[in-house]
Amino acid sequence: MNSASRTNSPPVVRSVHGIGVACGLAAGVWLGAAEAPTKLVNSGLSPYAISLCMVAGVFTARWTVPTLLKGTRQVFADLSEHRHLIPIAILAGMLWAVANTLTVFAIRDVGLAIAFPLWNTNSLVGILWGRLLFGELKGASRTNIAKVVLGALAIVAAAVMLGFSTIHTSGAHGDRAVGGVLAAIGASLLWGTMYIPYRKAYISGLNPLSFVTVFTIGELGTMLALVFALDGGTKAAVFHSGEIRHLLFWLFLGGFVWVIGDLFQQFATKYLGIGRGIPLSNTNQMWGLAWGALVFGELAHADATHRLLVVIGSVVMICGALAVTTAVATEKENSSMREALVRECARYDLDYDRVIRTYAGEVPATSATRRAWWDYVILAAAVGVFIWLGINARIPALAMNFAWVGVLAVILLASAAAGAWLLWKTTKFS
């Protein structure tokens, strides 16, 4: 049956706003923690090498987590049903890889304190694309529009304040500052645009866990191409230098942590849309600062002005997140979302009722539920890689407060457990 014929009486689906909010906030916690390994940028590794090593960890995680939660049979069945989205997912991975490399250049040239707020303006880029391409906020009340737009602006403003709170230790290089700023802005534009494939995939009914397994092919392929083309080719130090072996574990770990945050961000984008999900996940600036200040002592010698910026920036960011959190979509706005969904169903001849229930996490898992033997091989290989890298790892020569490492690690695990439990209870990770 043609999908358009179903729009007059759309199936009743539950609200997924609360699920999306929980995922967005959990994403912020994990994405903020993933920035800690970027301090290794001063280790002598090139930005391309750092990004490639992190992407290798990302690749490992993007296959391990979906395999652990759903099994590859379900992932492949989902991808087979949505073959038209495979090139889109690969393109999204390519955009991410380039953007991630630009952030490493930005951190090297202007420091994390300046670069982080600049690339977090991707939420504003995402709001624009969401409105233009998917009708987000179309039909929304003035109150909800104000909450989303002003909340996102507040989060960006807070990120700037939190960034300036550590600018006295950023170590920016004047001769490369312009390039660093441009790199951070470029990352913002690419990451903001990357959410277009995300949203397109999810309103077509593709599961986020399936999307990321293809997404990572674009990531890894692009990073290898960049290293071969711009960082020495097959003679690049990242392939031959034994001196960097002890750093690989931390970069892999950073990539793995980033994937956990990104998975929550993917579910937030699915259930809230770009305009709401991305600003919430961009609270990672506050958590990134927590790691920098509490673990690495970035504010140990800060004056009263910089400490005041931390307090004000944190309060503003919390208020911005609360504004976005309370902007629950109205029926008129949901109708606009359904119009976008109908267009996707008509374009690719998809079953509208099934897609909209999948969008709301109500479609039962595919019949391919029995795990394949290779699932266990994938999981064992991932564990083996981390054990091998861990054996060769050394704690970087950075002053760290391990008590705060423990506290923040507990927060990480608690947020992941709460988010995963909510997703499993309500959607079975659909």
Is the predicted pLDDT of residue 253 greater than 50, yes or no? yes
- What's the rounded Cα separation, in Å, for the pair 166 and 160? 10
Is the predicted pLDDT of residue 365 greater than 60, yes or no? no
The encoded tokens of residue 172 equal 């920016």
Report pLDDT for 243: 64
DSSP characters for 142-170?
Answer: HHHHHHHHHHHHHHHHHHHHHHHTTGGG-
Structure confidence by residue, pLDDT tens digits, 394-417: 776 677 788 998 999 999 999 999
Answer yes or no: are the C-beta atoms of 271 and 15 closer than 8 Å.
Answer: no
Is the predicted pLDDT of residue 340 greater than 60, yes or no? yes
Reported confidence tier of residue 420, pLDDT bands at 50, 70, 90:
very high
| pLDDT, mean of residues 379-399 | 82
Answer yes or no: are the C-beta atoms of 102 and 236 closer than 8 Å.
Answer: no
DSSP-based three-state secondary structure for 362: coil
Is the predicted pLDDT of residue 338 greater than 50, yes or no? yes
Domains in the chain: how many in total?
A: 1
- Most distant CA pair in the chain, distance: 67
Question: For the chain, what is the mean pLDDT?
Answer: 82
Is the predicted pLDDT of residue 173 greater than 70, yes or no? no
Reported confidence tier of residue 38, pLDDT bands at 50, 70, 90:
low
| pLDDT, mean of residues 136-156 | 89
Neighbours of 302 (CB within 10 A): 19
Q: What sign results for the dihedral spanned by CA atoms 330, 264, 29, 419?
A: positive
Reported confidence tier of residue 189, pLDDT bands at 50, 70, 90:
very high
Report how far apart the first and last C-alpha atoms of the chain are (Å, whole number).
24
Least confident of 12-21, 82-91, 358-367, 399-408: 358-367
- What's the rounded Cα separation, in Å, for the pair 248 and 108? 19
Report pLDDT for 5: 43
- Residue 95: domain span: 3-427
Structure confidence by residue, pLDDT tens digits, 208-241: 888 888 888 998 899 889 888 888 887 777 776 6
Reported confidence tier of residue 39, pLDDT bands at 50, 70, 90:
low
CA angle 202, 356, 322 (to 5 degrees): 65
Reported confidence tier of residue 147, pLDDT bands at 50, 70, 90:
very high
- What's the rounded Cα separation, in Å, for the pair 272 and 274? 7
Is the predicted pLDDT of residue 154 greater than 70, yes or no? yes
Structure confidence by residue, pLDDT tens digits, 51-105: 788 888 888 888 888 888 888 888 888 888 888 889 998 999 899 889 988 887 8
Please state whether the predicted TM-score (pTM) of the whole model is above 0.75.
yes
Answer yes or no: are the C-beta atoms of 37 and 288 closer than 8 Å.
Answer: no
Report pLDDT for 171: 47
In percent, the amount of the chain with pLDDT more than 90 equals 14
Report pLDDT for 175: 59
Answer yes or no: are the C-beta atoms of 307 and 155 closer than 8 Å.
Answer: no
